[in-house]
Amino acid sequence: MFERPIFERMCLIGIGLIGSSLSLAVQRHGLVGEVVGCARSEATRQTALDLGLCSAVHADPAQAVGGCDLVMICSPVGTYAEIAERIGPHLREGSILSDVGSVKQAVIRDVGPFVPDHVHFVPGHPIAGTEKSGPEAGFAELFEDRWAILTPPPGTDADAVQRLAALWQGVGSMVDTMDARHHDRVLAMTSHLPHLIAYTIVSTAADLENHEQQEVAKFSAGGFRDFTRIAASDPVMWRDIFLNNREAVLDVLQRFNEDITALQRAIRWGEGEVLEDEFRRTRALRQGVIEAHQAGSFDPREPEKA
């Protein structure tokens, strides 16, 4: 166990959905003495102050990290290399540098070279999120009952890893540690491919004529609406994920393509048994999700009526 607060001063670089949720959660649970932040836009910095997400905000990440014993990068992964280069020389001795990025090999590749020897680099990824973005989208419960994955490079200080794990546990998460390459392969299946597919199907519908698109929205309760929700996620964040987990994504996509071709053929030739068998074998995985308490819940009624 670590005494609370676990960290004296945490710096968030990027204050969007994840950064703001983390700030609210660590403050609620008294895990961090002070939260400071850095964001690109004046609007986000002002909102962070107004909502009490940060006690101080900066435009320059190098300034923001000063005196912090935990620096958490919470911006799209495509911004990491530049941020790391800027902050590297300003990181406090003995501090931990971590992040929440959705890919991990690329983060180690981009950030690793800029981390001074006296700083512990422990990349991480909370498997939690919504389709919303920005500092106003955050809520303190986001990480409860969710897994946080840490991917410390070989040789990382064990105490630093444990200290960071304690922070994630403190906000309600379970923590798993694994190799970055394994992380990227698993997440390609559980997160990156689903988002790619959702973007694609909504894009297919967006190619329809205008009046047909209106019908698609009108009759979307038959299944399509769920895909539009997933495809509402931030375009820049997802562009960066696909650019930075190319190999693993292309690999699962290849397998998906083979599977859909098989179903396509079964539909074309009217092979009812093949279809039914395929549709039946997906049930065990749904059960697994429910048993792992990772299902969330969908209310088919409209929000204002629920």
Ligand X SMILES: NC(=O)c1ccc[n+]([C@@H]2O[C@H](COP(=O)([O-])OP(=O)(O)OC[C@H]3O[C@@H](n4cnc5c(N)ncnc54)[C@H](OP(=O)(O)O)[C@@H]3O)[C@@H](O)[C@H]2O)c1
72-91 positions binding ligand X, by CB under 6 A: 74-77, 79, 83
Q: From ligand X, a copy of itself, none, which one binds at residue 211 (CB under 5 to 8 Å depending on kind)?
A: none
State how far the alpha carbon of 294 is from the alpha carbons of 145, 168, 288, 290, in Å: 8, 17, 9, 6
Determine contact, residues 126/18, Cβ cutoff 8 Å.
Answer: yes
Partner whose footprint covers residue 46, from ligand X, a copy of itself, none (CB < 5 to 8 Å by kind): none
Stretch that binds ligand X, among 15-23, 109-117, 253-261, 287-295 (CB under 6 A): 15-23
C-beta separation of 11 from 34 below 8 A: no
User: For residues 87-146, which are near ligand X according to CB under 6 A?
Assistant: 100-102, 125-126, 129, 133-134
Q: Which helix (H) or strand (E) holds 184?
A: helix 180-187
Pick from 63, 130, 133, 177 the residue near a copy of itself by CB under 8 A. 130
Contact flag: residue 286 with a copy of itself (CB under 8 A): yes
Q: What span, in angstroms and rounded, lies between the C-alpha atoms of 85 and 114?
A: 6
| Least distance to a copy of itself, CB of residue 180, Å | 14
Binding mask 65-104 for a copy of itself (x = CB under 8 A): -------------x-----------------------x--
- Using CB under 8 A as the binding rule, whether residue 181 contacts a copy of itself is answered as no
Q: With beta carbons less than 8 A apart as the criterion, state whether 69 and 7 touch.
A: yes
- Alpha-carbon distance 144 to 205, whole Å? 35
Cβ(131)–Cβ(104) below 8 Å: no
**Tokens standing for residue 83:** 């941020």
Interacting stretch for ligand X, rule CB under 6 A, among 10-18, 178-186, 264-272, 289-297? 10-18
Tell me how far, at minimum, the Cβ of 300 lies from ligand X, in Å: 9
Residue pair 241/129 in contact by the 8 Å Cβ criterion? no
Within residues 16-35, the interface with ligand X by CB under 6 A covers 16-19
